[in-house]
Structure formats: structure tokens, C-alpha cells
A and B are shown apart, each in its own frame.
Chain A
Amino acid sequence: MSSEGIQNGGMAARSKASVIPPHLQLVNVWKRFGSEPNRTVAVSNVDLSIAPGEFVTLIGPSGCGKSTLFNMIAGLLPPDSDGSILLSGQPQPDGALLGKIAFMPQKDLLFPWRTVLDNATLALEVEGMSRRKARAKAESLFPEFGLMGFERHYPHELSGGMRQRVALMRTFLFERDLILLDEPFGALDALTRAMMQRWLLDIWERHKRTVLFITHDIDEAIFLGDKVMVMTARPGTIKQTETIALPRPRDASVITSPDFMEIKRRLLASVEEESMKTFALSRDAADRKTMS
């Protein structure tokens, strides 16, 4: 170990300039709530790294701590002090991540009093860009997001799919290299969802941002990702990482290809095992409740 370590160290030092650090890196990240004996561990010992420009999907049973993990990456929740989050190789102290990552929560959370256009420019306004400039910038994205002609509409006048696209546009206009998407298509019907997935890939291939995408849906995870990470039941940790070598650009036919099926079979077994654990855990809790 020692001699090897020295050698590797020398190599690393020499090639340091050429090696690109992972865009996002989580090292031993934990999140515990409450204190003993009522402590809940939401996230335990998460290590992950995402390369620049990579599209990573994260899948796991409901209640496994995915959203807690996302909130920590977005800077909304500090990780416990025994772990750390690095952005482009730089460790991020508590609160430092706010304003550095484009975060799109599960719900569209559009502001009902703002028009579609002014919802899209929200982050730009926070950054201090003048309203006129922000609007001009957003307007150029409307055709690409399929929202042409809806600039002056209010959110309540839009369908679910359109609202989600507005929320995505708002996230894209907050020009950060890392985008966090928390089940953005979870509430959409199957057809709209499939359309949005292809559309998202299209946008991603053109804008080349790094994406971390949470989902419940195995098909979605494989179809979109360069890498699929499986989270365990609570306390959530990364159980398995599957590299998806399916060629890009991907279209709808990929889903029925033998390679896709093979990957899906492997992942399904893994995810279902975790779902069963969640189920067993909740049944145990219910049993305990009825017994006492």
C-alpha cells in the first residue's frame, strides 16, 4: 500500500492539471434527525460522484431519503458534519451551495401571480438582472420549450405538462452547470411523460449541463441516464451503480431493445428488494403500534 501510494501520488501530482475533478462529489454524507433514542437516519453513508456533462438518474423506493439528499445537494439542508459535499473538487461549507445549483423540486411551484414569462425569469431577477433583459433572454427559449404564445398567460391557464416545462425553463435559465431534478414528470400521464423525456434529452444534449435526476420509474431512469444509481430503503444509501451504455441519441425504440430489457431486469430485482424492505418496515411499525 505504502509504496504504491507514493507512486500513485506522484502520478496524480504530475497529471493534476489534465484531470478534471468530478462535477459533484459526495463523500460519506449522512443526515440524522432527532437525538437518541428517537433518532431517524434519513441518509446514511452516501458516496457518489458525477462527471461534468453526465446525466445521472437516482432511483429508490418512496421514503428512502432521496428528497433529503437532494435538499442537501441544493444547499437547503446541511449534511451531518462527518461527511462533505464537493463541487468541482471544492468542499462546500454549510449554506455555500445556495445559489450554485439549479434545483427543480417535485412540484412546479410556479408563482400564480406571475405570468409564464415572469415565472421563467424568477432566478434571473434574484440574480439582479433587469426585468427587461431577463425577459428578452427567456423569450428566446419559448419555442424550444414548446411554450410559444403562452408568455403572457398565468400558470392556472396551463396544462400540467406545460407548467412542468415552465418550471424546467426557470431551472434552465438559472444557468448553473449542475441541474437537480426531483421527479419532474412524476405527476404527468404516461404519454406526456414519454414526450417530455425525449424532449429533455434533446435539450440536455444541446445545452450540455450535468444532470442529477430523481425518479420512481425504472424505464425513465434507464432511458435518460448515463448512469443509474439505486438507493436502498431508509436509511438511504447508494446500493448499486449501473452504467447505461445504450447509444445516444436515444429514441422511443430503445425501450424495447434487448439491451434495455437486460439492464431493466437487473435493476428491477435490486429495486424491488428495497421496496419490499420498505413494505416490511412499515408493516413492522404497524404491528408494533397495534401491539402497544
Chain B
Amino acid sequence: MTMRGRILTSPPVTVLLVALAWLAVVPLFNIEPRYLPPLGDVYAEAVKLWPDLLAGFWRTFLETFIGFIAGALIGIGFGTAFAYVRLLERAFFPIFVALQSVPVIAFGAIVVIWFGNTILAKVVIALYLAFFPVAVNTLRGLSGVNPGRAALLSSFGASNWQSFLMLALPSAAPVIMTGLKLGISLSLAGAIVGEWFGDTVGLGVLLLQALYFEQVTRVWVLIIACGLLGALLYGALSLIERRYVWWQFD
């Protein structure tokens, strides 16, 4: 890619271009605020909402983050167990697949009944959504270990545990990262939906309130805030990936 091409596609520049387009398009086509409010109004609304926005952002971040970490750990655990114990995979994997086909909304209701309007309920929903892609990708990564490398390690007299740590885990890491990146976006969606079942703080709560009072400008503030949170979480994972898991799965 040329230097100019790279600058044009870098994330901050993309954001800037979208903002400029927004500024230009609204007066140009005389768009009603009901459909797309002017960017200046959205900014003013964000300033007005600032303390609530900040508290909501932090709260939703926390729910997503805790849920994601827990889901990722459990997902990696189950994925590993499935990869090494065929019987477990046969017994439990179909159950997980079936569970995944239950829409999170239906599942969320029972979680709120179990855990009440606590942060825990949102964490559990975020966990539930992150778990599956991580487990599946861990299983896929660990089952795809190059048999030649595995034989080489055995010929050195490596134990199963050594083979797992020195070969299987690093070789599966790029695939597990793919699962984690899927999982973190789902976790955020889970946390926001979880807040709709009832709470007082959070981006999801603000979103629902704005919807009830038809505060279109506020909805846009929240869309941007949710997008920012999602981008931050995904970006952090991508940075970790580029720094520590840069090799290809083969």
C-alpha cells in the first residue's frame, strides 16, 4: 500500500473523515434532526450528559471486562478439555451448541431472576456470550497442532504437559486470539443488553432512557460512546495480539 493509502485508512483519519461528512451532509441535504442531528448538537448533548456518561461508560466497561475475562478463561478451559478428552467433547459440545441457539434476550431474563439487578447479572450475560467463540476456537487451535512438531517433541522425550506448554498452546494462540476478538465484541453487546433488564447506571441504561423519551441526539451520543468502548476493547486486544501473538497458525 502507498504511504497516502495507509494514512487514509488509519483509524483516526477514518473517524475524522466520517465527522467531516456528518458536518457537511446534514445542512447540505437539510436532514431533519429526528434522523440525524447536527454533530454540534450531539457534542453539546455529550457535554451536558458528561457525568452520567462517564459513570455509565465505566460501569459498562467493567461489566464487559469482567464478563469477558471470566468467559475467556472458562472458554479456554473447556476448549482445552474438549481437545484432549474426546468423551467430554462428545458429551458436552452439542449442549453448548444448543445453548448458543437460545437468543441472549431469552436467556437474560432468567439470569436477572437469578442474580437480580446486580452487576453480576450483566457479567454473567457477557461471560455467556464470550465463552462460546473462545471455547470453539481453542478446541480448533489445539486440535490443529502440526503432527510433525508433536512427534519431534515426543522424540525428545517430552511429557504431555511439556508438549502442551511448549507446542500446543503457542501454536493454537493465534486461533484463540480470533476467538477472543469475537468474544469481546459479544461481551459488550451482552453487558448492554443485560442493563436493559433493569439497572440505574450504564450505557445500556442511558440508551433505553433516551429511547423512551425519544431523545434522538442523546441516542447518537450513546451510539458513539458504545462504539468508542467497543473500539477500545477490540483495539487493546489487537495490540496484545500484534505484540505477543504475531505468528500464523499452520
Residues of A that sit less than 8 Å from B by CB? 71, 74-76, 98-101, 103, 105, 107, 109, 111-113, 122-123, 125-127, 174
Contact of B155 among A98, A107, A111, A113 (CB under 8 A): A98
A123 touches B247 (CB 8 A): no
Interface residues of B (CB under 8 A from A): 146, 148-149, 151-158, 162, 166-167, 170-171, 173, 247-248, 250
A75 contacts B156, C-beta separation under 8 Å: no
Distance in angstroms from B165 CB to nearest chain A CB is: 10
Decide if A126 touches B146 in the complex (CB within 8 Å): no
Sampled A-B contacts (23; CB under 8 Å): A71-B151, A75-B155, A76-B151, A76-B154, A98-B154, A99-B155, A99-B156, A101-B155, A109-B149, A111-B149, A111-B170, A112-B250, A113-B170, A122-B153, A122-B156, A123-B156, A125-B166, A126-B153, A126-B156, A126-B157, A126-B162, A126-B166, A127-B157
Known: A74-B151, A98-B155, A109-B152. 9 other contacts (CB 8 A): A76-B151, A105-B148, A107-B148, A111-B171, A112-B250, A113-B173, A122-B153, A122-B156, A126-B157
Query: Known contacts being A113-B170, A126-B157, is A103 close to B247, with CB within 8 Å?
Result: no
List residues of chain B with CB within 8 A of the CB of A123.
156
- Known interface pairs A111-B167, A112-B248, A126-B166. Does A98 touch B148 (Cβ–Cβ under 8 Å)? no
For residue A103, which residues in chain B have a CB less than 8 angstroms away from its CB? 152, 155
B152: nearest chain-A partner, CB-CB:
A109
| Inter-chain contacts of A109 with B (CB < 8 A) | 146, 148-149, 152
Q: A75 — which chain B residues lie within 8 A by C-beta?
A: 154-155
Q: State whether A126 touches B158 (Cβ < 8 A).
A: yes
Top 6 A-B residue pairs of the complex, sorted by shortest distance between their CB atoms: A99-B157, A103-B155, A112-B247, A126-B156, A123-B156, A126-B158
CB distance from B171 to the nearest CB of A (A): 8
Q: Determine if A122 and B166 form an interchain contact, defined as CB atoms under 8 angstroms apart.
A: yes
Residue among B152, B157, B250 with the highest chain A CB neighbour number at 10 A? B152
A127 cross-chain contacts in B, Cβ below 8 A:
156-157
For the complex, give the distance between the alpha carbons of A71 and B155 in Å: 9
Chain B CB within 10 A, most for which of A76, A98, A107, A126: A126
User: CA of A279 to CA of B250 in the docked complex: distance in angstroms?
Assistant: 33
The smallest beta-carbon distance between A52 and chain B, in angstroms, is 20
B158: chain A residues within 8 A (beta carbon)? 126
Given known A-B contacts A105-B152, A109-B152, A113-B247, A98 and B167 have beta carbons under 8 A apart: no
Q: Which residues of B contact A99 (CB under 8 A)?
A: 155-157
Task: Summarize B's interface: helix, strand, loop or mixed.
Answer: helix
In the assembled complex, how far is the CB of residue A156 from the closest CB belonging to chain B, in whole angstroms?
Answer: 8
Residues of chain A within 8 A (CB-CB) of B173 are: 113
> How far in angstroms is the closest Cβ of chain B from A209?
16
Distance, CA A123 to CA B250, complexed state (A): 22
> Across the two chains, which residue of chain A brings its CB closest to B170?
A113
Task: Give complex CA distance A100, B156 in Å.
Answer: 8
- For the complex, give the distance between the alpha carbons of A274 and B146 in Å: 32
By a CB distance below 8 angstroms, the chain A residues around B153 are 122, 126
Q: Which residue of A lies closest to B148 (CB)?
A: A109
**B111 vs chain A, min Cβ distance (A):** 38
- Cβ–Cβ contact A98 & B149, under 8 A: no
With both chains docked as a complex, state the minimum distance between the C-beta of B243 and any C-beta of chain A, in angstroms.
Answer: 12
Q: Could you say which residues of chain B place their CB within 8 Å of the CB of A112?
A: 247-248, 250
> Whose C-beta in chain A lies nearest to the C-beta of B245?
A113
B247 surroundings in chain A (CB, below 8 A): 112-113
The answer to whether A174 touches B149 (Cβ under 8 A) is: no
Least Cβ distance of B73 to chain A in Å?
22
> In whole angstroms, what is the CA distance A74 to B150 when docked?
13
Chain A positions within 8 Å of B149 at CB level: 109, 111
Residues on the A chain within 8 Å of B166, using CB: 111, 122, 125-126
A104's nearest neighbour on chain B, judged by CB, is B152
The answer to whether B148 touches A74 (Cβ under 8 A) is no
Query: Shortest distance in angstroms between A177's beta carbon and chain B's nearest beta carbon?
Result: 15
Shortest C-beta distance, A61 to chain B (Å), equals: 22
Alpha-carbon distance between A113 and B170 when the two chains are bound, in angstroms: 7
Nearest chain-A residue to B159 (Cβ)? Answer: A126
Minimum distance in angstroms from B176 CB to a CB of chain A: 13
Residue of A nearest to B149 (CB): A109
Known: A111-B170, A126-B166. A105 touches B157 (CB 8 A): no
B222–chain A nearest beta-carbon distance, Å: 41
**Residues of chain B within 8 A of A74, CB atoms compared:** 151, 155
Q: Which residues of B contact A174 (CB under 8 A)?
A: 156
Contacts of B250 in A (CB 8 A): 112
CA separation between A101 and B155, bound complex, in Å?
A: 7
Between B157, B167, B170, the greatest number of chain A beta carbons within 10 A of the residue's beta carbon is seen for B157
Chain A neighbourhood of B157, CB < 8 A: 98-100, 126-127
A125–B153 alpha-carbon span in the complex (Å) = 11
